[in-house]
Amino acid sequence: MARLPRLTVPGYPHHVVQRGNNRQAIFASDEDRRYLLALLIEYATRFQVAVHAYVLMDNHFHLLATPETAEGLPQMMQGVGRRYVRYFNDKQGRSGTLWEGRYRSTLIETDRYLLACMVYIDLNPVRAGLVQAARDFPWSSHGHYVGLGQDKLVTPHPLAWTLGNTPFAREAAYAELVHAGLGTEQQRALTDSVLRGWALGGADFVAGLQKQTPRRARPLQAGRPANKEKSSR
């Protein structure tokens, strides 16, 4: 069965993950991480994609981003992916693929899941046992949101501005969200949705989204369709 195209609709936040092939490392040094960040800044600007959050793990990276156009996110990811593989292969004296196929992504409902997705991304290094707290990991957007420094890649989503009336209030509120963490169900929903490519949100959100794209936004219901003649009786 042919795989579905990615679900990409402009104006919505997308959770994106790109993994290394066979879970191999995609960075050999901090210089590599800086190069990937520079590529993301370049291509996000070129293709009008607002990156709200990110984390660079050893063998994969996550983004939370809103494209202005239907092709913006695919074009950004394609440009970044190709350039980075050429750079990494040349530097490491290797050849062949680096990525585990195409990147994975999904759309998320802003009010219900955007802040949760940011927390999920920030806590990746903590869940992996790399650091004790999100603020201790230098390769994520967490520091931008808790006042540790300005990040040129990050464009805060308007929802982040509702966390407080001053920068200090917003930073404290966001730090508290990350400290509180996510429930098991939220974490599972965010993981499953990005890996499977189905929209994450309530029924009304998914129904409204479906009107804007011919690509299915959620999986088909299990079982055989109802008999219309019988159901009309």
pLDDT tens readout for residues 86-141: 999 999 999 999 999 899 999 999 999 999 999 999 999 999 999 999 999 999 99
Note whether 74 and 7 are within 8 A (CB): no
Residue 160: which of 180, 146, 149, 139 has the closest Cα? 146
The domain spans of the chain are 14-215
Note whether 164 and 170 are within 8 A (CB): yes
Q: Work out the mean pLDDT of the chain and round it to a whole number.
A: 92
Residues facing 49 on adjacent strands: 67
CATH of 14-215, one of 3.30.70.1290, 3.40.190.10, 3.30.565.10, 3.40.50.720: 3.30.70.1290
Mean pLDDT over residues 152-159, rounded? 97
Residue 59: which of 95, 94, 88, 96 has the closest Cα? 88
pLDDT of residue 55: 98
Mean pLDDT over residues 47-53, rounded? 98
pLDDT of residue 214: 86
Quote the percentage of the chain above a pLDDT of 90. Answer: 85
Assign 155 a pLDDT band (cuts: 50, 70, 90).
Answer: very high
Mean pLDDT over residues 187-203, rounded? 94
Q: Which residue has the higher pLDDT, 91 or 232?
A: 91
- Return the HEC string of 158-181: HHHHHHCCCHHHHHHHHHHHHHHC
Residue 148: both structure tokens together:
């540790």
Give 211-230 pLDDT, tens digit per residue.
Answer: 988 888 888 766 555 454 44
pLDDT of residue 231: 41
Judged against a pLDDT cut of 70, whether residue 198 lies above it is answered with yes
pLDDT of residue 51: 98
Mean pLDDT over residues 55-64, rounded? 98
